[in-house]
Amino acid sequence: MASVSATPSANPQVHGLFDPASWTVTYVVHNGPGSEAAVIDSVLDYDPKSGRTRHTSADQVIDYVRAHDLKVKWILETHAHADHLSAAPYLRTQLGGQIGIGGHITRVQKVFKGVFNLEPGFKQDGSQFDHLFQEGETIPLGALSGEVMFVPGHTPACAAYRFGDAVFVGDTLFMPDVGTARCDFPGGDARALYASTRKLLSLPPDTRLFMCHDYPPTDRPVAFESTVAEQRAEDNGVAYLKIPLNAL
Identify which has the larger pLDDT, 181 or 5: 181
Q: Left if phi > 0, otherwise alpha if psi is -120 to 50, otherwise beta: which for 228? A: alpha
- State the chain's mean pLDDT as an integer: 83
Cα distance between residue 225 and residue 108, in whole Å = 28
Task: Give the pLDDT score at 97.
Answer: 96
Whether this model's pTM surpasses 0.75: yes
Helix axes of 56-67 and 88-95: crossing angle, nearest 10 degrees: 30
For residue range 107-139, what is the model confidence (pLDDT) as tens digits? 877 777 776 677 887 777 777 889 999 999 999
Task: Give the pLDDT score at 156.
Answer: 84
Strand pairing report for 71-76 and 36-40? parallel
Write phi, then psi, for 169 (nearest 5 degrees).
-95, 0
For residue range 14-48, what is the model confidence (pLDDT) as tens digits? 999 988 888 889 999 999 999 999 999 998 887 77
Q: Left if phi > 0, otherwise alpha if psi is -120 to 50, otherwise beta: which for 41? A: left
Task: Give the pLDDT score at 47.
Answer: 79
> Bridge partners of 210?
168, 225
Cα distance between residue 240 and residue 235, in whole Å = 9
Cα separations in angstroms, 227 against 56, 174, 215: 30, 11, 18
Task: Give the pLDDT score at 243.
Answer: 34
For residue range 213-239, what is the model confidence (pLDDT) as tens digits? 878 788 888 888 999 999 988 755 433
Closest alpha carbon to 44 in 79, 14, 81, 69: 81
Query: Mean per-residue pLDDT for 77-103?
Result: 87
For residue range 190-213, what is the model confidence (pLDDT) as tens digits? 999 999 999 999 999 999 999 988
Does the CA dihedral 47-48-51-57 come out positive or negative? positive
**For residue 118, what are the contacts with CB-CB under 8 A and spacing of at least 6?**
112
Q: Is the peptide bond before 217 cis (omega within 30 degrees of 0)?
A: no
Q: What residue ranges define each of the domains in the chain, with the CATH number in brackets?
A: 2-243 (3.60.15.10)
